[in-house]
Amino acid sequence: MAKSSNPEGKTGVRIVVAGDRGTGKSSLIVTAAAETFPTNVPRLLPPTRLPEDFYPDRVPITIIDTSSNPEDRGKLAEELKRADAVVLTYACDQPETLNRLSTFWLPELRQLEAKVPVIVVGCKLDLRDDQQQVSLEQVMSPIMQQFREIETCIECSAYKHIQIPEVFYYAQKAVLHPTGPLFDQETQTLKPRCVRALKRIFILCDHDRDGALSDAELNNFQVKCFNAPLQPSEIVGVKRVVQDKLVEGVNERGLTLTGFLFLHALFIEKGRLETTWTVLRKFGYNNDIKLSDDLIPYSSFKRAPDQSVELTNEAIEFLKGVYELFDSDLDNNLRPIEVEDVFSTAPENPWNDAPYKDAAEKTALGGLSLDAFLSEWALMTLLDPARSLENLIYIGYPGDSSSAIRITRRRRLDRKKQQSERNVFQCFVFGPANAGKSALMNSFLGRPYLDSYSPTADEQYAVNVVELPGGIKKTLVLREIPEDGVSKLLSSKESLAPCDIAVFVYDSSDESSWKRATELLMDVAGHGEDTGYEVPCLIVAAKDDLDSFPMAIQNSTRVSQDMGIEAPIPISSKLRDFNNIFRRIVNAAEHPHLSIPETEAGRSRKQYHRLINRSLMVVSVGAAVAIVGFAAYRVYAARKNASS
């Protein structure tokens, strides 16, 4: 396989040379640039540029010389922070300069948080005492174990022109083709994210989906990545190398995934990282082994604050096919290991972390049903459409990526049209502490009721499918807002824009819980009126299995009537009596004009605007009459003059 080309987007590499005084920094730089040993070297060189054709990658290099004087420490630190790679020098004839690498220079780089590859270079090889010959590997092995940022160690002589070009070639290579993202030096294995990317590439190249790259597929892969075909003898040679070391790496159909991965591990072990990097970059991967940003159509996500993003039917049908493919025993239960397998061609499973972890209903066997699987995708598309689309691409979405998502109509327009066309609704769940919010969320996911109370510190999400009459399915996302997080939420003007409906939960046996819930309702309703992002609201009287507080019915009826919304809906999570609450939430979200609360201030504001509009209408009518009268007078005057 051929060498790499210039990685896209990399316009230059900045290499900073540092080390103790007298270790040969300046002589190293001048000899590399001029290809001749200097007789007089200035104490500090200006930035030195190596042209782009100096090395095969065709990326220009700028080399920065640094001063070792204590008074120049600030300038040195500044240069090290700006470096793409650092060359640390020691003098082969001065052992103390080698010791200083681990006692000063490498710790200094860590303190500056200069997380770049380091090339350790022993200069003045020609001056080393022949009586003290020790292998470089023996000397450097302990240091490299301690400082994993060291990419390569090399010894050179500027005076005798020994391995001078190699120094900056290795430094450039460490930047353009870094080892860290691909290979674990301790275990001597490919890193998980690298394996996942190569697996995806293998699947994309296995056009007949038979689990092996045939000779023709292997040749197509070679042409795509390296712009050169493989001769039949070369294909035979590649497969023989793999089979000699790994029998299962080749079968009668061709090179297996195991063999493909082994081949790349072999390239990396032999120092040919550019081969693997070329493959990764040809398939759109960046240095983090993730798809480059230019492959994700971010412009597709531009939307107003009160618009959301949903998967299209095309994407949903694709995901149904993925589910069926990985649910090998067809039991409508995608086990955790099978979910991991779905994302085995993505950098990681995006559902292993909040807010997706435990956000969907689990089967009795701890897996995901098809509805739960699609619900997780709906949640990710709602909260982070770019990540959702990125993962669709990772798992093999075949169509144009922009065909996988759609932008919904503005919620403000939904209210005017008196109907929402969304398939995914987001419900904010408010309420005081210990009101029953988490119990409502858990019941939505089919989890058992817990008698013990555990306060919610952070926002939580729960997502599930709600079936409506006629077999229509909608996805409902519940977002629990802790009581102490409400003021922070409402500090943003657009905080209610993504909300389709708000639910206010209170403990029906506790009057103080009711009072606090109404305060929260007033705050949210007022915020909606002030910002123009009004949301329909429902009140939920939780813990209906307990005795209601005195005046409960009278107070709740008065408040709901005053604000023009439905009376509180009684539920009991303990008795699993939910009074069709989730269907009622979706129904209210589908008809967003019916359940919008109105505060006293909002009512007064509307009356004021009505009065102003009426006054403007009177004024405009009066003005129109005056204009007509004036026009009539002009006609009369003109006729009179004509008759005269």
What is the DSSP code string of 198-240? HHHHHHHH-TT-SSEE-HHHHHHHHHHHHSSPPPHHHHHHHHH
Give dist(CA 180, CA 148) in Å, integer: 9
pLDDT for position 3 = 42
C-alpha distances (whole Å) from 91 to each of 48, 104, 318, 567 are: 22, 15, 62, 84
pLDDT value at residue 632: 55
Reference 16, options 79, 90, 103, 91; nearest CA is: 79
- pLDDT on residue 4: 43
Q: Categorise residue 470: left if φ over 0, alpha if ψ from -120 to 50, beta otherwise.
A: left
Residues of the chain with pLDDT under 70: 1-10, 130-133, 602, 604-644
Residue 401 CB burial class (10 angstroms; 0-12, 13-18, ≥19): middle
pTM for the whole structure: 0.84
- Length reported for the chain: 644
φ and ψ of 465, to 5 deg: -90, 135
| 341 alpha-carbon distance from chain centroid | 20
Query: At a CB cut-off of 8 Å and minimum separation 6, what does 147 contact?
Result: 102, 106, 118
* Domains by residue range for the chain, with CATH: 13-176 (3.40.50.300), 189-293 (1.10.238.10), 302-407 (1.10.238.10), 422-598 (3.40.50.300)
Peptide bond into 336 cis (omega under 30): no
- Close Cβ partners of 359 (under 8 Å, ≥ 6 residues apart): 376, 379, 460, 461, 462, 463
